[in-house]
Amino acid sequence: MTFSEEQRRKLDRAQEIIEHKFENENLLLSAITHPSATEGKAVKYSYERLEFLGDSILGAIVASTAFHSFHDLDEGGLTRIKVALVSGTSLADVAEHLGFADVIVFGSSETGTGKRGLHSALENVYEATVAALYLDGGLEAAREFVTRTLIPRMSLDMASEPENPKSALQEKLQEGGITPTYKLVETQGPPHDRTFVAQVYAGSQGLARGTGRTKKEAESQAARSTLARLSEFFGGMGIGEKNNEKAAEKAAAKAAEKAAAKAAKEEQKARKKREREAAKKKLE
């Protein structure tokens, strides 16, 4: 198959990111191709079929790693680690940091939309890449990629994540005099395939964001991400475990400020990136 200039450029960059030279580059092309790019094109498949396979392979790799890493955890704890690690927010974040946003092949229907479905596309491309690696280089190739890019995020703290992250976050922050609120900040994708983006706020300060197929799921993911940052700040110790109430309040406020600053920095970075993309489109 003859690749277009854009496909060739993105295939080369994708292989650099993945650190694997594909014998069958058509597999990789499918993995990085958005469904909108298959209409009337020579590309037969988008990442949708590979995503289906990659989801199962990824789950097995993460489950096996957690099982062998945390010998004292029961089934519930292992499940919570797996769910947290393979969540849409987690995979999209990893894919974005790897640079996958620059290699996804979008169709004309996405042009001018600001790539509204980018977050869900990043998640899907990560899973599809795992499947492509499995088909091209076997389970070991897929495992090496996941171990390098995703597994470093795995931690014992994930095992104790609450079933209701919104309630847990409210309890934790209210000890510091902070009441979290949630706002829907973005809606991505076409009407038949919506992805919602919600953000947690402490007063007027924006904290972490989360995405989901429903508004409720997006808010839960946002709360989960905020809790993860607070846990890192306290070194695994919850606010409620501290005996000094004033120290707890001060620590909670500092945690919120730190999360807000990080969120603001990420948002500024994303905005600059969108501006560069918009300027690039005008020149094309």
Residue 55 annotated in active site: yes
Q: Is there a contact between 211 and 89 (Cβ–Cβ < 8 Å)? A: yes
Active-site pick, 51, 55, 110, 219:
55
Q: Is the dihedral of CA 254, 257, 262, 265 positive or negative?
A: negative
In angstroms, what is the C-alpha Rg of the chain?
A: 20
Residue 33, SS3 per DSSP:
strand
Integer Cα distance of 49 and 30 in angstroms: 9
Integer Cα distance of 173 and 230 in angstroms: 9
Residue 75 annotated in active site: no
Integer Cα distance of 69 and 154 in angstroms: 10
Integer Cα distance of 22 and 81 in angstroms: 31
Residue 211, token pair as written in the block:
């995405």
Q: Is the dihedral of CA 74, 130, 125, 93 positive or negative?
A: positive
Integer Cα distance of 205 and 253 in angstroms: 11
Active-site pick, 127, 136, 217, 219:
127
Q: Is there a contact between 36 and 106 (Cβ–Cβ < 8 Å)? A: yes
First to last CA, the chain: 26
Alpha helices in 110-164 (DSSP H): 118-137, 139-149
**Hey, which residues are catalytic here?**
55, 127
